[in-house]
Amino acid sequence: MSQAPASPVILPGATLGVLGGGQLGRMFVHAAQAMGYFTAVLDKDETSPAGRVSHHHIRTGYEDPLGLSALAQACAAVTTEFENVPAASLDQLARHLPVSPAGSAVAIAQDRAAEKAHFVRCGVPVAPHAVIETPEQLAAVGAELLPGILKTARMGYDGKGQVRVKMAEELASAWEQLGRVACVLEKMLPLAHECSVIVARGRDGQIVNLPVQRNLHRDGILAVTEVFEGNVPEVQAQQALAAAKSVAKGLQYVGVLCVEFFVLQNGELVVNEIAPRPHNSGHYSQNGCDVSQFELQVRCMTGLPLVQPRLHSPSIMLNLLGDLWFQDGDTARTPAWDQVLALPGCHLHLYGKVDAKRARKMGHLNVTAATPEQARATALQAAAILGIAPF
């Protein structure tokens, strides 16, 4: 197979585009602008977090051919912050300019069934599961997969599109509840904890990684990420890193990729899912590492060199959900940022979302310190001030 000619490096001064205007797009825009790039965001929402801080904001949907061609015109390269951008839109853009990650890799991450098949191809262990697309497949589910979680194959996030199923008799109504769309039934596993790894892979195949992140989820939503030496036992950390690299390589991936894992109570490591973009569990890198996941995204898409990031401070990230904007039921309040920012090593990141809603990600707080114990003590103090349950 002949190799495509290497694209030239895209230097600061050029315009970089991102599909999607959410918080990940906003933090990408901030990183790109800090490095001297101009930015363009494509998102139909007038008040999108990224659109509001970008030099250019193209207000159309992801499938609008005119919007896509305006983006291609304005930019030297394009990335995405949202994995449910139609792969066909990425492919359309790729005919005109470098797009990373590629539509083919994003298409796999969009579909839990395809994603699991890819993990198996890479020799990375997955949870026992069955693909459910027909009533026959539903009827054929074996008792060994129960209790389990029925998950829609596409469009799930933050635990949405999932129903827990204890007994075989509940399967039909669970599938009904999910609209009888294509699903994956996964066996419910006994988790000791969860972790994730973020890798960045360049056009030349070079891979660098952020340190393994230990994650705590509440109600299916990431609540806390802790990163310091020894956060995850060394054996599992090494396995997770090797698995993440092999998943990225198997996709011929270019860009930032997050791979989420379960660590089981017996010590086994099982891959959960991938995100073809920077990830909530990597936000600590903005303050805890010398290169953030968003700078890695800029470097990947422009062909700039990838350097191995270094964690310079033990770090804890607390997600700030919209619930913190309410007191005793429905009374609106502003969280006591002044009190939190009086604590050493607290870095506040708010996404500029117009309305606070329960379970909506409004921002995050990165806590850095000289030692893991100090980071933890400060993070617990901040959590107490904000009304986040201790962890």
Binding site for ligand ATP (CB under 6 A): 127, 149, 151, 156-160, 186, 188-189, 191, 194, 217, 220, 260, 272-273
Is 68:93 a contact under the CB 8 Å cutoff?
A: yes
Is 165:147 a contact under the CB 8 Å cutoff?
A: yes
Report which of 254, 300, 360, 230 is spatially closest to residue 28, judged by C-alpha positions. 300
Residue 337 CB, shortest distance to ligand ATP, in Å, is 25
d(CA 54, CA 40): 6
Residue 7 CB, shortest distance to ligand ATP, in Å, is 31
Count of C-beta atoms within a 10 Å radius of residue 167: 9
Residue 194 CB, shortest distance to ligand ATP, in Å, is 5
CB closer to ligand ATP, 43 vs 273: 273
CB closer to ligand ATP, 54 vs 236: 236
Count of C-beta atoms within a 10 Å radius of residue 169: 8
Report which of 281, 359, 369 is spatially closest to residue 320, judged by C-alpha positions. 359
Residue 294 CB, shortest distance to ligand ATP, in Å, is 18
d(CA 230, CA 80): 32
Residue 188 CB, shortest distance to ligand ATP, in Å, is 5
Measure Cα distances from 49 to 158, 335, 352 in Å: 19, 19, 6
- What does DSSP assign to residue 143? G
Residue 272 CB, shortest distance to ligand ATP, in Å, is 5
Residue 125 CB, shortest distance to ligand ATP, in Å, is 12
Phi, psi of 248 (to 5 degrees): -65, -45
CB closer to ligand ATP, 149 vs 165: 149
Residue 23 CB, shortest distance to ligand ATP, in Å, is 13
Residue 16 CB, shortest distance to ligand ATP, in Å, is 25
Report which of 29, 8, 7 is spatially closest to residue 351, judged by C-alpha positions. 29
d(CA 324, CA 389): 11
CB closer to ligand ATP, 188 vs 377: 188
CB closer to ligand ATP, 239 vs 272: 272
Distance between start and end Cα atoms, the chain: 52
Residue 46 CB, shortest distance to ligand ATP, in Å, is 26
CB closer to ligand ATP, 32 vs 269: 269
d(CA 35, CA 14): 11
Is 114:55 a contact under the CB 8 Å cutoff?
A: no
Count of C-beta atoms within a 10 Å radius of residue 249: 14
Question: For residue 318, how far is the Cα from the chain centroid?
Answer: 15
Tokens 């998943």 belong to 247
CB closer to ligand ATP, 114 vs 188: 188
CB closer to ligand ATP, 190 vs 390: 190
Please tell me whether residue 104 adopts helix, strand or coil conformation: helix
CB closer to ligand ATP, 280 vs 292: 280
CB closer to ligand ATP, 186 vs 295: 186
**What is the DSSP track for 76-93?**
SEEEES-TTS-HHHHHHH
